[in-house]
Amino acid sequence: MNDYLLYSSIAFTLSAIFSMGGTGSGIALIPILSFLGLDFTAAKAIGLFAGASTTITSSVMNLKRKVLDFKFVWPIAAMMLIFAPLGAYCSQFLNEGIVKFLFMLLLFYSASMMLFGKKKPLMKATGTITLFIVGITIGFISGLLGVGGGNILIPFLILLGFEPKKVAVTVSFVVPFSALGSFFTYASYVHLDWILLACIAAAAISGGYIGNYLMHYKLEQRDIKKIMAFILYLLAFKLLYHFLSA
């Protein structure tokens, strides 16, 4: 019971902080649960479910508000829905140390993009083929590492020259469903504590709601991004220390 309370408190806090920055907390929750003794693959499944739980509401709202550009969304969505579960399936055949190392690189990448990410595109990419390739690549990587993919997808699409507002709406719609697809794949071969899963999901939803509420009240996004980046850097260096001392 004490473990449930501890894990739920961490999920609540992270979800509140990361939702203020407009992103899911799974990328931070996964390594923390692993550091606390939870199996890394189980931690990925729980992180995916918690992240999807907190962001699926925004997906439905965007659909109802009719702000989605389906011509832009569907190639990415279709490929991520296929390749995220495929990445999650392939994860079981990779050495866990390799997956953790790749996850560490993702932490460094995400934290750096929050602090130093370029607002201007590096190129002007167009065409459905490009969107298919993006969906395949990001979908497989996010499923393999057990994350929703938003932290990879948003800066990548912006660097390719796509409109930031359109990117944000698209990612908020796509990520929860690809995350759930990956979650069910992990759940098919990983033992999960369903009570713990429910507790963390409830805490993440509550934290996400409060974070979204606070986001609109005198909180600078720049300051929130710095806090998020600090957390991710801290976790990345913790993993790096683990590899160097192994």
- pLDDT tens digit sequence for 198-223: 999 999 888 888 887 776 665 666 78
Which pLDDT score is estimated for 245?
A: 84
d(CA 185, CA 144): 11
Least confident piece of the model among 81-90, 107-116, 209-218: 209-218
Kindly list the distances between the CA atom of residue 130 and the CA atoms of 118, 150, 160, 161, 173, in Å, as whole numbers in the listed order. 20, 17, 9, 12, 19
Instruction: Inform me whether the pLDDT recorded for 233 exceeds 80.
Output: yes
Cβ-Cβ contacts under 8 Å for 82 (sequence gap 6 or more):
139
Instruction: Inform me whether the pLDDT recorded for 79 exceeds 90.
Output: yes
Q: Which amino acid is at 116?
A: F
Q: What share of the chain in percent tops pLDDT 70? A: 87
Q: Which amino acid is at 41?
A: T
**Tokens 């962001």 correspond to what residue?**
55
Residue 27 structural domain: 2-245
Name the residue among 195, 204, 206 with its Cα closest to residue 4.
195
d(CA 30, CA 46): 8
Q: What share of the chain in percent tops pLDDT 90? A: 48
Instruction: Inform me whether the pLDDT recorded for 153 exceeds 80.
Output: yes
More confident residue, 101 or 160: 101
H-type alpha helices, 65-95: 70-91
Over range 163-176, report the average pLDDT: 80
Q: How many domains does the chain have?
A: 1
Q: pLDDT tier at 61 (50, 70, 90 boundaries)? A: low
More confident residue, 131 or 68: 131
Cβ-Cβ contacts under 8 Å for 76 (sequence gap 6 or more):
131, 134, 135, 138, 153, 170, 174
Which pLDDT score is estimated for 168?
A: 77
pTM of the model: 0.88
